[in-house]
Chain A
């Protein structure tokens, strides 16, 4: 049993402060069970993973325990076309799913941001923007990239539709206390190298399963220097290392970001909350189950060449040769065949058909600024289809206020409305069989962006560089990038 005075990690503090009751009988511990009923403070809902949750509430005659702890928005299946409001009503299956969400939230009186609202956006972009996401809370959502919110020092995790129903009815869930991984990031990021590159490099080095089921805390001066957007990208990608949770300790950057957000506490209440948030950082001497390290000084922009996020390579490198291990070699060959590329080729020789800039990983205003700095004064290469999908309508409005939309459209990018779009490919934004994308999203799985589609993950600046050159390109070698 951890005593109150023992140094605790950020994760442990968050866990301890949400345990309602320890549940006996989780294995792997001699005396103390790791399982507990924990309180879920906040819950984000979207149209794609909650229709069965509401159905379960209805069929069991249950009500919502505390309505003001939930916030719903359509994002996954929505069209990103400019005229989407006029087509939404008869937009087939996607429109029906959004309509179902609207009727469900009306029936159960759940706070809702509809498609035509200026605040609509991807759950993991909108939640932080509104100040719904706060440090020190538990936050669940029927989406694996809920780990994003850990950037605020929140215990945030993805759950299935059945667990969404449980959270609606009880604000509680049975979970096991995760093992902890400390990621020590040393050094400083070079120009045009971003937290997306850090995430890909980490997964590339330690493997896509290196943090399976764990809570990963990102630490080091480089993290302290990161904006909230960069931290969110890092925590977002933690799930691609198999982690349940990604975390960054809240600091003044966090607090400054939240001050004045509409759903964050206001006035004196905010200062009271901030005082609590400042106590959450891991104590000196707190122990982690595992520590991994990455030095950022020499880190190059990264891209993925295969169908697993660990298939990362520096942009100045080559598609790697087959590994020695027989099973790994088989997977390597399978990935190359699917991707239609060959070992040993410089990654910059890979030509792309489509460029996608957006998603809960890289759809924030900082991301669009980085992409626009590359796009400014350039043209999308012939034959390349390039789309920019803001993570939220607020991001879109901010970008337009800064003139980024003009930069993009003059360069030949398609400037879209907010949604998950080609990251999950549930709407019309998807790759055709064999098409190849440079994508700022999070998953390069087979078929992720459309059946037979080939995905190369990278940062927004790198994706913009691919758009204007027609192939994967080292953004650092492009001249005159004007931010």
Chain B
């Protein structure tokens, strides 16, 4: 996974609450089995009409400006667990999403894909959105700050999430190397206490 350290970029503003995973990545595209090249389907139903004609919209407009940061509203990414919702955003070019809150699985999926999710209160979010309308924002994960012109705002992110993004490590490999023995020890204890979980699956 590509590490995330910092980003200076124009902003895509989608200032609505509950932009859910069905809006971000409509279910019919879940039949596609690649994870690359999904950016064209990002919020597809807001960019292309049912006949396949392009609709004027802020998303493609922001794409032309090279937006790498998305500012949304409350509960962004609520709904399904589809990781395509993150793959589509990333392939579209966005690696930082700022919102008042996130769908929890979406937020977890961001961390698995080098996409930085940042949570702010509504007032700060509005301030950033107002600046991001025309200006670029600078996100610094090392310092945990966002710079909007002269103003530098601290953001919160757990040490664990920050480290995962900064190192861009392979989570599975990391768990295997760091905790492989601990997992085996746990399973020995669980087998003794709950042997029924270690019976062969009669399927």
Contacts and interface: CB of A to CB of B under 8 A. Distances in A.
Interface string B19-35: 01011001110111101
A208 interface: yes
Interface string A168-206: 011110101000000000000000000000000000000
A45 to B, nearest CB: 12
A33 B158 CA distance: 10
Interface stretch (A4-12, A156-164, A291-299, A362-370): A156-164
A143 B105 CA distance: 10
A171 B187 CA distance: 10
A443 interface: yes
Given A25-B160, A242-B78, A208 B18 contact: yes
Contacts of A161: 35, 83
B151 to A, nearest CB: 23
Interface residues of B, number: 62
B38 to A, nearest CB: 11
Contact of A100 (B18, B33, B176): B33
A27 B171 contact: no
Contacts of A433: 50
Given A52-B35, A52-B83, A144-B79, A452 B112 contact: no
Contacts of A160: 81-83, 86, 105, 108-109, 112
B50 A451 contact: yes
Contacts of A33: 160
Given A20-B182, A169-B172, A242-B75, A424 B27 contact: yes
A26 B158 CA distance: 5
B196 A272 contact: yes
Contacts of A16: none
Interface stretch (A91-99, A224-232, A456-464): A91-99
Contacts of A300: none
Given A159-B108, A263-B202, A327-B17, A165 B179 contact: no
A174 B160 contact: yes
Contact of A39 (B113, B187, B196): B187
Main secondary structure of the interface of A (DSSP, over half): loop
A71 B201 contact: yes
Contacts of B105: 144, 158-160, 244
B163 interface: yes
Counting chain B CB atoms within 10 Å of each CB, the highest count among A33, A172, A276 belongs to A172
A340 interface: no
A20 B183 contact: yes
Nearest to B100: A209
Contacts of A208: 18, 75, 78
**Which among B20, B23, B109 has the highest number of chain A CB atoms within 10 Å?**
B20
Nearest to A112: B203
Interface in B102-139: 103-105, 108-109, 112-113
Residue of B16, B20, B81, B170 most packed against chain A (CB within 10 A): B81
Contacts of B176: 62, 169-170
Interface of A: 20-21, 23-28, 33, 35, 37, 39, 41, 48-49, 51-52, 56, 60, 62, 65-66, 68-69, 71, 76-77, 92-94, 96-97, 100, 111-113, 130, 132, 134, 136-137, 142-144, 146, 158-163, 165-166, 169-172, 174, 176, 208-209, 212-213, 242, 244, 262-263, 265, 269-270, 272-273, 276, 308, 327, 331, 424-426, 430, 433, 443, 445-448, 451-452
Interface of B: 16-18, 20, 22-23, 26-28, 30-33, 35, 45, 50, 74-75, 78-83, 86, 101, 103-105, 108-109, 112-113, 156-160, 163, 170-173, 175-176, 179-180, 182-183, 186-187, 190, 193-197, 199-203
29 contacts: A24-B159, A26-B160, A27-B158, A35-B158, A35-B160, A39-B187, A49-B81, A49-B83, A52-B35, A56-B172, A60-B172, A68-B201, A93-B31, A111-B203, A143-B81, A144-B105, A161-B83, A163-B109, A163-B112, A166-B175, A169-B175, A170-B180, A176-B158, A212-B101, A212-B104, A242-B103, A265-B196, A426-B31, A448-B22
